[in-house]
């Protein structure tokens, strides 16, 4: 059992996640472009987009209520707060408890709920459509994700991610059991859904037939849209961080030593890069599923997660 992470480190890790979020998106876009034999934009493009949006003015729909302006703020805050719960460079519970994996999923769900509420505010059909679809997929993804978390938590005896990573720190992929493989398979199925990518959602298009998440952002503009974009970048890296904390806690530093922390940061970058490559590969090699096929696709994840849990408990 390793020591506890001081609160300052937790906050630094959280800031790191927020700052690196757009980079992951940029990397995925670049990888996708290369896989599709295009040159593609530079990997820093999301940062340029964000700064551009922050410099712009705001146009707001005339039917919106007072909530609309605060939606991007609250969504961003909830997503970033979820980022504080992921161990990035060092294992072990935070010195003062914050939240566990259930709380993390709860905060992400809060962000999603508020986004959907904001989408309904402008009173356009696109927003409603996006919100309706997103809120259909979300209740199907969440229980499966929760089951994967439970399958790990039952083995580790805690749902706190830092402590969980610390307890499983020694187990590298050789020590994996069937339950881990199945849980990981479930995560691989869920990852595109949770990060809003093909085959569930398509982040590149604003076509009403295909979009889920983008549809909900249509009425936001300027800095508000910037906040929403930053929130979705953060959400992506937080989800990837959750997966690496659950399945690949290897490399996380044990103590406060500088080399350990640097090594942890390097390991984290490597893990995120691998998962990002996976997402880019999936996005380039599959078509988007028809919306009503998505539940069947998620069903594969459900079966894997249920089997993983069963193996862990029986």
Partner 1 sequence: MAALYGAGALSSLLARWSGRLALGVGHLAALAGAVVGLGVSLGVLLGDPGRTLIQPLPDLFPFARLSLSVDGLSAYFLLVISLVAVAAAIYGPAYLQAHAPDMRPARQAAQVLALNAFLGCMALVCCAGDALTFLLSWEGMTLASYVLVVSDDQDGENARAGLLYMVMTHAGTVLLLVAFLALTERAGAFDFAALRAAAGDLDGTTRTTLFFLALGGFATKAGVVPLHVWLPRAHPAAPSHISALMSGVMLKVAIYGILRFAFDLLAPVAGPLPSSWGWTVLFVGTTSAVLGVLYALQQHDLKRLLAFHSVENIGIILIGVGLAMILWRREGAGGALTTVALTAALLHTVNHAAFKGLLFLGAGSVLCRTHVRNMEELGGLARRMPWTAGLFLLGAVAISALPPLNGFVSEWLTFQALLGGASRFHGPAGLVIVFSAAMLALTGGLAAACFAKAFGVTFLGRPRTPHAEHATEAPPSMIAGMVWLGAVCVALGVAPGYAMRLLDAPTVALLHGPEASAVVTARGPLVLSMGLTASGTDATAISMTMVAALLIALTAIAWILRRGLRRAPPRTAPTWTCGMSPTARFDYTATAFAKPLRLVFAALYRPRRVVTQETAGTPYVVQRIHYAGEVVDLSETQIYHRVEWGISALSQAIRARSTGRIHGYIAFVLGALFVALLLFGVGQR
- Which residues between 32 and 91 bind partner 1 (CB under 8 A)? 54-63, 65-67, 69, 72-74, 76-78, 80-81, 84
- Of 21 and 99, nearer to partner 1 (C-beta) is 99
Q: Which part of the chain contacts partner 1 (CB under 8 A), choosing from 33-41, 182-190, 237-245, 287-295?
A: 287-295
- Of 82 and 267, nearer to partner 1 (C-beta) is 82
- Of 121 and 283, nearer to partner 1 (C-beta) is 121
Give CA torsion, residues 151, 163, 259, 276, to 10 deg.
Answer: 30
- Of 211 and 267, nearer to partner 1 (C-beta) is 211
173 is a contact residue toward partner 1 (CB under 8 A): no
Q: Where does residue 1 rank: exposed (0-12), middle (13-18), buried (19+ CB within 10 A)? A: exposed
8 Å CB contact between 164 and 252: no
**Residues counted in the chain:** 314
Q: Which residues pair with 94 in a beta bridge?
A: 5
CA atoms within 13 A on the CB side of 283: 27
20 is a contact residue toward partner 1 (CB under 8 A): no
Q: Which part of the chain contacts partner 1 (CB under 8 A), choosing from 27-35, 139-147, 187-195, 236-244?
A: 139-147
- Of 198 and 212, nearer to partner 1 (C-beta) is 212
Q: Which part of the chain contacts partner 1 (CB under 8 A), choosing from 26-34, 186-194, 221-229, 269-277?
A: 221-229
Please give the residues from 96 up to 115 whose contact with partner 1 meets the rule CB under 8 A. Answer: 96-100, 102-103, 106-107, 109-110, 112-113
What's the chain's Rg over C-alpha atoms? 19
8 Å CB contact between 84 and 5: no
8 Å CB contact between 193 and 182: no
Residue 253, classed as helix, strand or coil, is: strand
d(CA 196, CA 200) in angstroms, rounded, equals 7
210 is a contact residue toward partner 1 (CB under 8 A): no
154 is a contact residue toward partner 1 (CB under 8 A): yes
Residue 141, classed as helix, strand or coil, is: helix
Size of the site for partner 1 (CB under 8 A): 87
Q: Which part of the chain contacts partner 1 (CB under 8 A), choosing from 178-186, 222-230, 252-260, 282-290?
A: 222-230
- Among residues 3, 291, 297, 303, which is the contact residue for partner 1, using CB under 8 A? 291
Q: Which part of the chain contacts partner 1 (CB under 8 A), choosing from 32-40, 198-206, 218-226, 266-274?
A: 218-226
d(CA 257, CA 245) in angstroms, rounded, equals 20
């Amino acid at each position: 059992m390793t020591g506890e992470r001081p609160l300052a480190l937790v906050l630094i890790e959280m800031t790191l996640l927020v700052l690196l979020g757009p980079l992951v998106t940029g990397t995925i876009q670049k990888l996708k472009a290369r896989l599709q034999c295009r040159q593609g934009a530079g990997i820093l493009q999301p940062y340029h987009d964000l700064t551009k949006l922050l410099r712009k003015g705001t146009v707001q729909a005339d039917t919106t209520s007072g909530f609309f302006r605060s939606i991007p703020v609250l969504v961003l805050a909830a997503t970033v707060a979820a980022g504080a719960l992921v161990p990035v460079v060092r294992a072990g519970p935070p010195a003062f408890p914050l939240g566990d994996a259930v709380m993390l999923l709860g905060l992400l769900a809060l962000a999603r709920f508020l986004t959907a509420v904001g989408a309904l505010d402008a009173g356009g059909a696109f927003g409603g459509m996006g919100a309706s679809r997103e809120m259909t997929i979300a209740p199907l993804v969440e229980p499966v994700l929760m089951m994967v978390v439970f399958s790990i938590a039952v083995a580790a005896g805690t749902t706190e991610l830092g402590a969980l990573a610390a307890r499983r720190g020694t187990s590298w992929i050789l020590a994996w059991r069937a339950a881990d493989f199945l849980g990981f398979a479930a995560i691989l199925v869920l990852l595109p859904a949770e990060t809003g990518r093909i085959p569930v959602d398509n982040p590149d298009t604003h076509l009403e037939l295909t979009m889920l998440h983008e549809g909900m952002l249509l009425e936001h503009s300027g800095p508000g849209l910037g906040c929403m974009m930053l929130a979705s970048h953060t959400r992506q890296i937080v989800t990837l961080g959750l997966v690496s904390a659950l399945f690949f806690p290897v490399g996380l530093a044990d103590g406060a030593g500088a080399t350990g922390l640097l090594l942890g940061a390097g390991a984290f970058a490597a893990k995120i890069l691998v998962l990002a490559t996976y997402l880019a590969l999936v996005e380039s090699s599959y078509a988007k599923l028809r919306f009503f096929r998505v539940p069947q696709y998620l069903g594969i994840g459900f079966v894997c997660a249920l089997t993983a849990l069963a193996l862990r408990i029986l």
